[in-house]
Amino acid sequence: MIERTGRGLAIGTALFVLCMGVLLFVRLLPLSAGLTGWPGPDLGLCLTFAWVLRRPDQLAAPVIVLVFLIEDVLLLRPLGLWTALVLLATEAARLREARWRAQPFMVEWVRVAMLIGAMMLGFRVVMLLFLLPAPALGQMILQYIATVSAYPLVVFAARWLIGLRRITQAEAEMMGYSR
């Protein structure tokens, strides 16, 4: 039983890293002709929240840090700032996962939207506080709206394409996640 749990953990972590790698690869592709329009959603962030709230046992904090640190380097963001904010938000969600498990999806969506909003606000405040070039406020608001709107689609896709589902109360008690 322990071997099966360890194998599931390794497979889940590897699948998350693979999905994030694919999303980052697509994000880095030069698909536009230089015109900047509406900012797209941060699908990697949506997938991370979906994974943490559905399978908290499969996604450890160091994996989140590693993936988002690589993303910071490749997307030329301030090194570690967005990573730290993602880690704080996902760990806050992980701590509350047991209480959120029985709630309807709409409540989860609102809570994730509040966490994403706090992350983006914190990112902007730190950038302005240290006099770094911050993205335009309008662009950040549009990206927030796009990311929050994409969250249900990412959860649906993760459920049907990857098989990512919520753990049951019995599974949570076996893994020690019932609080």
Helices then strands, counting H and E runs in the chain, come out as: 7, 0
**Percentage of the residues of the chain whose pLDDT score is greater than 70:** 87
Q: Element (H or E) spanning 126, and its range?
A: helix 105-129
How many C-beta atoms lie closer than 10 Å to residue 86's C-beta? 26
pLDDT digit string, tens, across residues 19-39? 999 999 998 887 766 566 778
The residue-averaged pLDDT of 102-125 equals 93
- With CA atoms as reference, report the closest residue to 177 among 63, 55, 50: 55
pLDDT at 83 (0 to 100): 96
Average pLDDT over residues 70-90: 94
Q: Per-domain residue ranges for the chain?
A: 2-15+41-170
* CA 137-140-145 angle, 5° bins: 125
Whole-prediction pTM value? 0.88
Q: How far is CA 156 from CA 7, 27, 151, in A?
A: 25, 20, 9
Average model confidence (pLDDT) across the chain: 87
